[in-house]
Amino acid sequence: MAAAGVGRPVDKDGCPQGPWTPDLLARAISEIEANRDGIELRTVQLWFENNNKGISASNIRWLARVLGCNDPEASSAWQAELSAAQSRLTAKRRERRREGSAQAAEPEDGWRGQQGSGLPEVVQDSPRFGLACATEALFSFGSILNLAAAVFAGAVALQFVSYFLSIHSITYLRHDGVSKQVGFLWAPNWTVLFVVFLPLFFSVVADQIVRWKNVSRVRLLSAIGDGEQTGTWMSRVEASSYTYWVALLICVGFAGVFQWVSIRLLPLLNGGGAYAVDWGTLALVQPEQIGVLQQIAFTAIAYIYMCLCFYLFIAGLILLSSLVDDFVHIRTALADHQGHEHVPEIETSGSAILRGIFRCTIAGLLVAICMKLTSFYLVSPSPNIWEWLITDARSVLALSVMPVEADSFSKPNQYTSMLVVFLVSAVYLYGTIRIGASVSAGHSLVRSHLAVVFLALVYMLIGFIPGFSLLLSAGLIVACYGLFDPDFRFWWERHRSQYYVP
């Protein structure tokens, strides 16, 4: 009923103007004159979710008024049928509890029809607990800024701890006499990455998921008229449960434990290693500044935070892939219905998904750039990262300045950042190939492709050619513009399209 828009205003052809959403339904119930107390939006949202309470008798009365368009006879009939459906639902739950069934059906994304009654019934079974569903809930529950704010708060907490340990801004004297800045706050992969780019990525992914499952998906299913044949959103998420477990094991086992032991723990215990000195190994060169035990404890906390964040990063990419699959599946179901081959909502939803995937790709590439910048700066003889970038730019602009040469240290972040580039690029290609056919975006897709290729090229050339910092500056400009305008429609084109009449 929510997908069909029963009780909503109709157009000139007698068709409802669209499906019911929690906002619209709550507003319609609150506008009933006899309902002086109105109704809370969260209460109506629970009707669309997998809750264990159903709908109360008093709210069934107001819902019947809305569905019956305030006609006394129709409202009375709706109230009787809704009450009967609620009784059947209660009886089914009582029977399941009595039988002790351990099977938990997937939550529905809408309202499932009952055979023989002619009335939809809310199906609200208890969902199975799983890593995939729990991860999806982190992105979609509450505000889209919840997860981003949690990651931001964790990064700020680490920065405060580094300040208390006096390793936030600290230099050490290299063997060549250069006093090099290796403080925690000077490392882009621990400051800018977790404070700006990763929260940005999480907020965009959360916005895409919430918009899809609560708005776009409902509208597309209303055009089909039967949402059961397309499956549910949560069943689509649960289908990738093994992928989530693999991502968690890799991030915690390799990126977390193994990398911390090999890069931090063993060098601190053995007194050396093949890696350049930074904030995590200061105890090797300045034991009077921070003790080995303090260093081990702080790096352990930082790496736990890091590996969990990168699990959520990969999980966000998996969710975007599931979203693409769900959209393509519903689009195919629409094409199978005669007269629904050209639903305007298909192009609108597809374009919104592509824009969101592009923004996530930009944020992911900026994450990889931060990681690679830190790796190459640590093996350079420059006193700080800003001096390193300025010297590199001057080596091209002023011929008298020699380019900076790197030392022969291992750079573990280089391989991790390359994996990040590969993952975000793969999801971007997957989304544009599968969805691009249904979206007549024209040259906007071409420009977004060029922007992604350019940023990937900027990443590849960091530290390998003189003047890479100039390309990096241009890449940041392209990335910032693309985040605000993924279609890259410049102001004169928007102005021309607004006033030009062919």
Tell me the per-residue pLDDT of 279-320, one tens digit each, with 9 for 90 and over: 888 888 888 888 889 999 999 999 999 999 999 999 999 999
Q: How confident is the model at residue 38 (pLDDT cuts 50, 70, 90)?
A: confident
Query: What pTM did the predictor assign?
Result: 0.72
Task: Select from 413, 411, 314, 420 the least CA-distant residue to 371.
Answer: 413
**Cα–Cα distance, 233 to 327 (Å, whole number):** 10
Q: What is the mean pLDDT of residues 261-283?
A: 83
Counting every residue, how long is the chain? 502
- Of the CA atoms within 13 Å of residue 232, those in its CB half-sphere come to 18
Mention every residue, 6+ apart, whose C-beta is less than 8 A from residue 451: 358, 362, 478, 479, 482, 488
Mention every residue, 6+ apart, whose C-beta is less than 8 A from residue 52: 93, 124, 126
Q: Can you tell me which residue has the tokens 């991860």?
A: 135
pLDDT score of 230 = 58
In terms of DSSP bridges, do strands 171-173 and 112-113 run parallel, antiparallel, or are they unpaired?
A: unpaired
pLDDT score of 337 = 63
Q: How confident is the model at residue 407 (pLDDT cuts 50, 70, 90)?
A: low
172 membership: H or E segment, kind and range: strand 171-173
Look at residue 240 and give its three-state secondary structure. coil
pLDDT at 34 over 90: no
- DSSP single-letter state for residue 263: I
- Of the CA atoms within 13 Å of residue 263, those in its CB half-sphere come to 23
Which range is least confidently modeled, 228-242, 347-361, 370-384?
A: 228-242
pLDDT score of 53 = 66
Mention every residue, 6+ apart, whose C-beta is less than 8 A from residue 133: 127, 234, 237, 238
Region of 116 please: left (phi>0), alpha (psi -120 to 50) or beta: left
Tell me the per-residue pLDDT of 457-499, one tens digit each, with 9 for 90 and over: 999 998 888 889 999 999 999 999 999 988 877 655 555 544 4
pLDDT at 373 over 60: yes
Q: Cα 335 to chain center, whole Å?
A: 29
Q: How confident is the model at residue 86 (pLDDT cuts 50, 70, 90)?
A: confident
pLDDT at 157 over 90: yes
In terms of DSSP bridges, do strands 171-173 and 179-181 run parallel, antiparallel, or are they unpaired?
A: antiparallel
**Cα–Cα distance, 111 to 109 (Å, whole number):** 7
Q: For the chain, give the percent of residues with pLDDT over 70.
A: 80
The answer to whether the beta carbons of residues 427 and 316 sit under 8 Å apart is no
The answer to whether the beta carbons of residues 109 and 221 sit under 8 Å apart is yes
Which range is least confidently modeled, 27-36, 167-176, 466-475?
A: 27-36
pLDDT score of 447 = 87
**Cα–Cα distance, 446 to 432 (Å, whole number):** 11
pLDDT score of 116 = 37
**Cα–Cα distance, 33 to 66 (Å, whole number):** 12
pLDDT at 442 over 60: no
**Cα–Cα distance, 210 to 218 (Å, whole number):** 12
Higher pLDDT, 467 or 111: 467
Q: What is the mean pLDDT of residues 239-264?
A: 91
The sign of the torsion formed by the CA atoms of 268, 270, 276, 282 equals positive
Q: What does the block give as tokens for 417?
A: 């950042």
Mention every residue, 6+ apart, whose C-beta is less than 8 A from residue 243: 318
Task: Select from 119, 127, 47 the least CA-distant residue to 81.
Answer: 119
Q: How confident is the model at residue 127 (pLDDT cuts 50, 70, 90)?
A: very low
Q: What is the mean pLDDT of residues 172-185?
A: 84
**Cα–Cα distance, 148 to 139 (Å, whole number):** 9
pLDDT at 396 over 50: yes
Tell me the per-residue pLDDT of 318-368, one tens digit each, with 9 for 90 and over: 999 999 999 988 888 877 765 555 556 788 888 899 999 999 999 999 999
